[in-house]
Structure 1
Amino acid sequence: MERDLKIRTKRFALDIIDLVEKLPNTISGRAIANQLIRSGTSVAANYRAATRGRSDKEFIAKIGVVIEEADESELWLEMIQEKGWIDVSSEKQEASELVAIFVSIVKKMKNK
């Protein structure tokens, strides 16, 4: 599962990179692109860091960051969708699924 999530979060980051290249080159488009690129790529980077955690407590803390970044990505994707710039429904769904997966992992870890 860990390897699958590494691949999945990296794929999400790559999809976000591709997506931001399509956003309008306006003040608002650039601002949202900058925010989304940071949060979207951070999901993968922080998940990789979490897998190298030295303890369950450290792992849970780092997964908390992953959850925050995936949720923030979902917000920016919602804004893009609502502005009608491009269809981001698949990326938005993936962000939502990643949040749910990582929340579930944290709950299981805390109930050990």
Structure 2
Amino acid sequence: MTMPRKENIIQDKSEKYSARIIRMYQYLIKIKYETVMSKQILRSGTSIGANVAESRNAQSAADFINKLNIALKEADETMFWLKSLKAGNYITEKQFYSMMTDNEEIIKILTSIIKTKKNNITIQ
């Protein structure tokens, strides 16, 4: 029997986004024959979720914030690669905006969590 899991929006969204990034990577490699930027976006896009996952076992509030800041930087880098892939006509406008929308949502959530955690530390 599986124990019920507490809902974690950023964990869920970053895991789903990671799966989308992996599928995009496969598409870029197999269909578009693009090997350089696809590896970059694979690394940065999946690193978002990996750092969010690591933050769950942070040793301190500072460590937690640090892990989420790394995830935020990776999301920013992923946005750069999305723009580059669109500029190079490797992905369509529709593909770009779909991925960009998810990425921006993750950035907003991460920014909010980091800001809230920093405020909570300051208040205490």
So what's the TM-score if we normalise by structure 1? 0.90
Answer whether contact 2:58 2:64 (CA < 8 A) is retained.
Answer: yes
User: Aligned equivalents of 2:102 and 2:74: distance in 1?
Assistant: 13
- Look at both structures and tell me which one has the larger radius of gyration over its CA atoms: 2
Show structure 2 runs of 5+ residues with no match: 1-5
User: Aligned equivalents of 2:49 and 2:63: distance in 1?
Assistant: 17
Q: 1:97 maps to which residue? A: 105
User: Aligned equivalents of 1:56 and 1:79: distance in 2?
Assistant: 35
Q: 1:52 maps to which residue? A: 57
Show structure 1 runs of 5+ residues with no match: none
> Aligned residue pairs: how many?
109
Shift of 1:3: 2.0
So what's the TM-score if we normalise by structure 2? 0.82
Shift of 1:2: 5.6
Equivalent position SS for 2:12: helix
Answer whether contact 1:81 1:88 (CA < 8 A) is retained.
Answer: yes
User: Aligned equivalents of 1:93 and 1:48: distance in 2?
Assistant: 21
User: Aligned equivalents of 2:115 and 2:103: distance in 1?
Assistant: 18
The percent of aligned pairs where both chains have the same amino acid is: 28
**Residues 11-50 of structure 1: pairs in structure 2 closer than 5 A:** 11-23=16-28, 24-25=32-33, 29-50=34-55
What RMSD in Å do the two structures reach over aligned CA positions? 1.4
